[in-house]
Structure 1
Amino acid sequence: MIAHHAGGIPLHNASRHNTAGPSRSTQSSGRKIAALIALVAGFSVAFVLAPGMVTSRPGDGYADQGELVETVRAAFVEYWSSGVQAFSPSLESAVDYWLRYHVAKAVIAVILLTVLLALGRMLKASFVNAGPLTAGKKLAFVSAGGLVTILALFSSVLVMANVQGVVAPFSSLISMLPVGETEGELADTLGQVRYQLAESTGARGQENPALDLMISDFARYHAAMAVIALIAAAVSLGVSVLLWVRFAKTARSDRRTRFVSGSIGVLAALFTLGLIVVGVANMGTAADPAPALAAFFDGGL
């Protein structure tokens, strides 16, 4: 009787129960991972397509990027010719649209990053808790984890860039100007901008009030990225330290956990260094924006 029962439960039923339990857990984990992958795909498409659709207003006339560029081209010429710092109505409308556009992009990028982090945690747990794996399955886990990690880092860059666009939408917008134009009103305007920027970098003072605003906004644009990058660097450094502490505390026998912690810790450390470089470079540009702005307008020549 004892040989066939344990605590009143037949041993063959208990064995069947133990086998079914992990199977259900594996199936549930697989469904969750599949759902997260579907969300990543959906929000990736939304990042590209949704902002333009949800931020457009009747009368904007920005059906695609080509139309927006044409609007910016005409609005910039009008603004420069106005001789005042206040935006012309057409430029103000374009800047307002670009602000809304970047807000939408930033929100979607944050959601995408959150989903990727959740997917990464699920993959890590599945990899660490999985039983014996063939070489092919190990390679699949490592490849999937590496891809998700890279996509998460890329999504964080998208968040940073779009927050920068929210802070200084005017400078972000004028980056769409075709500065290599050689004929027409825009070419004449660009020539005047280049000349007066050369005057300003020579400490002789700028003549057009619009140039004052362009330079100050360009400084804000780069100051924003400097702050964003350095905050992100602090977060990334903290994550790297936590991962390396976990790596050091994990038993050598738990090779999978050590591999995941060490690999992501290295990537986080490299990402931190890159962010520091970006932050310092943008601090320098923010402190003296006129030469960098002149270089932008000279870029098409």
Structure 2
Amino acid sequence: MTPLSRSNRSYAIVPLLLSAILVVAFVVVPPLAVPVARGGVDLSSRAQGVITAWVAEGSAERPAALRDFVEGWRDYHVVKAALAAAAGLALWRVAREARRRWVVGGRAYGQAVTLVVASGLAFFAALVVLANLQGALAPLASAVSLLPSADGDASYAATLARLSAQVSAGRPTGAAGAVLTDFAFFHLVLAALAWLLAIGLGIGSFRLLRRRLRARHDVSTPRREKLLLTTLSAPIAAAALFALVVASANISTAGDPAPELTAFLDGLGG
């Protein structure tokens, strides 16, 4: 076995190790760093308790228990975004090295697998970062998304119905107004992040396509390099278009958030 073969074989396990570290970190680190995430299975009931008490109080000012929960939930998203960003950067470096080795490595087919796996995991990590940034910037709406369904709880169902009626009434005040405002911002943040993602993917796709066109008649460009440029440009462009669709849908919701929020609350109340 040549040194290159041994290097290729050992290098192929790096993305798997990084993804395993990411999964472990997502499970272990946030509860250690953020108290609100401890006993995560109880998050829904805790969100139900603090939000139900707030709605019953009828005040726009958030009670201390709700503030603590929402701030903790925001910190939880920040920690997860940081973990995902670190893993994504590491995986991106792996993908770049795998690409270099695959282009120049002769029969280094393991590098192609490494490139695909690392690139896919890096893109997934980027999506996780965006999702958690959304939750960190609009933590109240994110906390509302934790609410469980009523499942026969008449008192809780009545609270959901009351909140839904206030939201749909137009210009709600108190808890309903605060939730609606943050819900609109929640979707506006996602729209902005999706636009940024679409711009980044669009620029990447354009650069790949331009490099492919330049390499078309360049005999010094390796055949694998040309194949890679051709293969990657189309799916990246498609992902950019999908991100634009997501951005447009969320801008629409941010402009008129009441119907979607009402539908969500009514769905929980049964």
TM-score between the two structures when normalised by the length of structure 1 = 0.81
State the AA in 1 paired with 2:191.
A
1:179 to 149, 155, 161: 149
Q: Please say if 1:217 is aligned against 2:194.
A: no
Q: Please say if 1:123 is aligned against 2:98.
A: yes
Question: Does the Cα contact within 8 Å between 1:285 and 1:292 map onto a contact in 2?
Answer: yes
Residues 161-185 of structure 1: CA deviation (Å, up to 9, x unaligned): 0000110011001101013443243
User: By how many angstroms is 1:126 displaced?
Assistant: 1.4
Q: Please say if 1:166 is aligned against 2:131.
A: no
User: By how many angstroms is 1:32 displaced?
Assistant: 5.4
State the AA in 2 paired with 1:146.
V
Other-structure match for 1:193: 163
State the AA in 2 paired with 1:120.
A
Q: After TM superposition, which residue ranges in structure 1, 4 or more long, deviate above 4 angstroms?
A: 23-37
CA distance in structure 1 between the partners assigned to 2:151 and 2:141 by the alignment: 19
2:33 to 34, 54, 71: 54
Q: Considering Cα pairs closer than 8 Å and 6+ residues apart, tell me whether 1 or 2 has the greater RCO.
A: 2
CA distance in structure 2 between the partners assigned to 1:38 and 1:90 by the alignment: 39
Question: Does the Cα contact within 8 Å between 1:29 and 1:122 map onto a contact in 2?
Answer: no
CA distance in structure 1 between the partners assigned to 2:50 and 2:189 by the alignment: 25
User: By how many angstroms is 1:299 displaced?
Assistant: 2.4
Other-structure match for 1:145: 115
For the residue of structure 1 that corresponds to 2:98, the secondary structure is helix
Other-structure match for 2:191: 226
Percent identity, please. 27
Other-structure match for 1:69: 44
1:284 to 252, 259, 265: 252
CA distance in structure 2 between the partners assigned to 1:69 and 1:277 by the alignment: 30
CA distance in structure 2 between the partners assigned to 1:26 and 1:242 by the alignment: 32
Deviates more, 1:94-103 or 1:246-255: 246-255
Other-structure match for 2:88: 113
Q: Please say if 1:98 is aligned against 2:69.
A: no
State the AA in 2 paired with 1:54.
A
User: By how many angstroms is 1:249 displaced?
Assistant: 2.0
State the AA in 2 paired with 1:282.
N
Q: Please say if 1:39 is aligned against 2:18.
A: yes
TM-score between the two structures when normalised by the length of structure 2 = 0.90
Question: Does the Cα contact within 8 Å between 2:45 and 2:148 map onto a contact in 1?
Answer: no
State the AA in 1 paired with 2:190.
M
Unaligned runs of 5+ in 2: none
The 5-angstrom pairing of residues 1-20 of structure 1 reads none
State the AA in 2 paired with 1:46.
A
Question: Does the Cα contact within 8 Å between 1:113 and 1:155 map onto a contact in 2?
Answer: yes
CA distance in structure 1 between the partners assigned to 2:152 and 2:63 by the alignment: 24
User: By how many angstroms is 1:68 displaced?
Assistant: 1.7
Tell me how many residue pairs correspond in the alignment.
266
Q: Please say if 1:235 is aligned against 2:173.
A: no
For the residue of structure 2 that corresponds to 1:145, the secondary structure is helix
1:82 to 57, 62, 65: 57
Question: Aligned Cα RMSD in Å?
Answer: 2.2
Question: Does the Cα contact within 8 Å between 1:116 and 1:151 map onto a contact in 2?
Answer: yes
CA distance in structure 1 between the partners assigned to 2:141 and 2:69 by the alignment: 12
Q: Please say if 1:262 is aligned against 2:230.
A: yes
